[in-house]
């Protein structure tokens, strides 16, 4: 690389405030590649860290903390041990570096690795920067028909493919999705791809429900306008849903899941709730012999996510509603907080 190449990144230096500053271009090790980052998505976890200083049990403590973990770009330098990538390759990044040695890594459940270093999960810095050095094994080459703009969203799609996998969704299932943000909408697309015959999407914002209809939802319910439980009973003939996904990370919607699931059905808790304790009707769960699964990130879904987009099965581009430059990142985060009824998925273009 030439000596005049400059790096810059965006950091939150306090709650609800971003700064942009020049930073060193990272040096790569023998097993890494240097990526010219082109797009980074704004995840709900990024918004929680920015606005609340925490997401679930993870708390921002650094004076300056870089957010962002959904990214794609072009390889501009390759470590001496890297053989499957070369300069000029366009790649997306699986953002969690695991130890590879613990019982969870060895059993294939590497998302539970206690020593994982996951981009933008405190204290690990994120990737709202121009240049990123990252292990080559966690960088996936993008097919010709997938842009880096879309490639940045392979990470949240991977999360939602894992959601549908945990939900055991199959042909003919009735599915209820509580929350029509980016994650809820991606779960919708994954469930339809797996053959769900009836998908009901619930939210409080009309624009998100309109997007759900565009992406294939069979029914949408606005909780501000209708009794959610009554509507689901009407649509399902009082049976309930085979699979219920909670994708809002809200104590109210989490508490609704036992009432929505059918006898012997399955609940998947996807959204990360801010509350540490939530009142929950376990009596109803037991009476229905319903199962509950919780989800943490994803496992081995990146290749399938890429293949589903390459084939046209998942129209990932349709999720994006807003795009900002890195210099506009403060405006982007404020839009995600204060105009969230209109923002389904925002993405940052790194210039």
Which residues, listed in sequence order, are joined to residue 18 by a DSSP beta bridge? 12
Asked if residue 139 and residue 11 are part of one domain, the reply reads yes
Mean pLDDT of 315-337: 96
CA atoms within 13 Å, Cβ hemisphere of 254: 20
Q: Is residue 275 very low, low, confident or very high in pLDDT (cuts 50, 70, 90)?
A: low
Residue 337 sits in the same domain as residue 275: no
pLDDT over 90, % of the chain: 91
Q: Are residues 81 and 129 in the same domain?
A: yes
**DSSP letters for 164-195:** HHHTT--TT-EEEEE--SHHHHHHHHHHHHTT
pLDDT of 38 reads: 98
Distance in angstroms (rounded) separating the CA atoms of residues 318 and 119: 25
CB 198 within 8 A of CB 175: yes
Structure confidence at residue 57 (pLDDT)? 81
Query: Where a domain ends, among 247, 279, 294?
Result: 294
* Residue at 1 is within a domain: no
Q: Are residues 26 and 149 in the same domain?
A: yes
In a domain, 314, yes or no: no
For the chain, how many structural domains are there in total? Answer: 2
Question: Which residue range(s) make up the domain with 198?
Answer: 160-294
- Whether 141 and 264 map to the same domain: the answer is no
Residue 307 within any structural domain of the chain: no
In a domain? residue 303 = no
- On whether residue 308 sits in a domain, the answer given is no
Same domain, 93 and 185: no
Q: What is the mean pLDDT of residues 33-40?
A: 98
Residue 107: is it exposed, middle or buried by C-beta count within 10 angstroms (0-12/13-18/19+)?
Answer: exposed
Q: Would 311 be classed as within a structural domain?
A: no
What is the CATH classification number for the domain harbouring 242? 3.40.50.720
| Residue positions counted in the chain | 351
Question: What's the pLDDT score for residue 274?
Answer: 63
Are 135 and 100 within one domain? yes
CATH for 22: 3.90.180.10
Burial group, residue 227, by CB count within 10 angstroms (0-12, 13-18, 19+): exposed
Nearest by Cα to 184 from 149, 223, 148, 145: 223
Rounded percentage of the chain residues whose pLDDT exceeds 70: 98
Rounded average pLDDT over 226-240: 97
pLDDT at 4: 67
Closest by CA position to 123, among listed 49, 61, 203? 61
> What pLDDT sits at residue 290?
98
Please state whether beta strands 54-55 and 58-59 pair in parallel, antiparallel, or not at all (unpaired): antiparallel
Question: Do 175 and 289 fall within a single domain?
Answer: yes
* DSSP assigned state of 26: P
Q: State the pLDDT confidence band at 2, using cuts at 50, 70 and 90.
A: very low
- Of residues 88 and 54, the one with the higher pLDDT is 88
Is the model's pLDDT at 351 over the cut of 90?
A: no
Q: Do 135 and 49 form a contact (C-beta atoms < 8 A)?
A: no
Q: Are residues 96 and 18 in the same domain?
A: yes
Examine residue 306 and state whether it is found in any structural domain, yes or no.
no
Residue 55 pLDDT exceeds 90: no
Read off the pLDDT of each residue in 288-298 and give the average, rounded to a whole number. 96
Arithmetic mean of pLDDT, 5-22: 94
342 and 277 fall within a common domain: no
Residue 204 has a CB neighbour count (10 Å cut-off) of 18
Same domain, 145 and 198: no
Are 221 and 193 contained in the same domain? Answer: yes
Q: What is the DSSP code (8-state) at residue 4?
A: T
Mean pLDDT of 189-212: 96
Q: Which of 160, 169, 163, 165 is nearest to 265 (CA)?
A: 169
Task: Say what angle helices 154-166 and 302-310 make with each other, to 10 degrees.
Answer: 110
Mean pLDDT of the residues in the chain? 95
Q: What is the pLDDT of residues 241-272, one digit of tens each?
A: 999 999 998 899 999 999 999 999 999 999 87
Report strand pairing: 96-97 vs 117-118: antiparallel
What's residue 3's pLDDT?
52
Domain assignment of residue 145, yes or no? yes
């Amino acid at each position: 690389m030439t000596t005049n190449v400059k790096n810059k990144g965006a950091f939150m230096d306090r709650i609800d405030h971003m700064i942009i500053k020049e930073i060193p271009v990272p040096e790569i090790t023998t097993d890494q590649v240097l990526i010219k980052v082109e797009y980074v998505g704004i995840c709900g976890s990024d918004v929680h860290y920015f606005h609340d200083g925490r997401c679930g049990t993870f708390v921002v403590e650094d004076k300056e903390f870089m957010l962002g973990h959904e990214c794609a770009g072009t390889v501009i330098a390759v470590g001496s041990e890297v053989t499957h990538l070369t300069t000029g390759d366009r790649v997306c990044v699986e953002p969690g570096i695991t130890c590879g040695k613990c019982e969870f890594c060895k059993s294939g459940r590497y998302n539970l690795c206690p020593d994982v270093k996951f981009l933008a999960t405190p204290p690990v810095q994120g990737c709202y920067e121009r240049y990123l050095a990252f292990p080559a094994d966690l960088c996936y080459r993008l097919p010709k028909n997938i842009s880096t703009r879309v490639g940045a969203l392979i990470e949240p799609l991977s999360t939602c493919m894992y959601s549908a996998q945990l939900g055991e969704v199959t042909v003919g299932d009735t599915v209820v999705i509580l929350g029509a943000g980016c994650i809820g909408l991606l779960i919708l697309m994954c469930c339809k791809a797996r053959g769900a015959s009836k998908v009901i999407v619930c939210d409080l914002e009309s624009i998100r429900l309109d997007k759900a209809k565009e992406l294939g939802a069979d029914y949408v319910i606005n909780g501000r306008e209708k009794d959610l439980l009554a509507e689901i009973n009407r649509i399902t003939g009082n049976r309930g849903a085979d699979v219920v996904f909670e994708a809002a990370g809200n104590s109210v919607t989490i508490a609704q899941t036992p009432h929505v699931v059918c006898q012997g059905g399955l609940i998947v808790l996807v959204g990360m709730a801010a509350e540490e304790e939530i009142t929950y009707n376990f009596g109803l769960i037991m009476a229905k012999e319903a199962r509950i699964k919780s989800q943490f990130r994803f496992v081995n879904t990146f290749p399938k996510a890429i293949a589903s987009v390459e084939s046209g099965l998942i129209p990932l581009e349709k999720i994006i509603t807003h795009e900002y430059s890195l210099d506009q990142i403060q405006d982007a985060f404020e839009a995600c907080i204060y105009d969230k009824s209109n923002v389904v998925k925002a993405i940052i273009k790194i210039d």
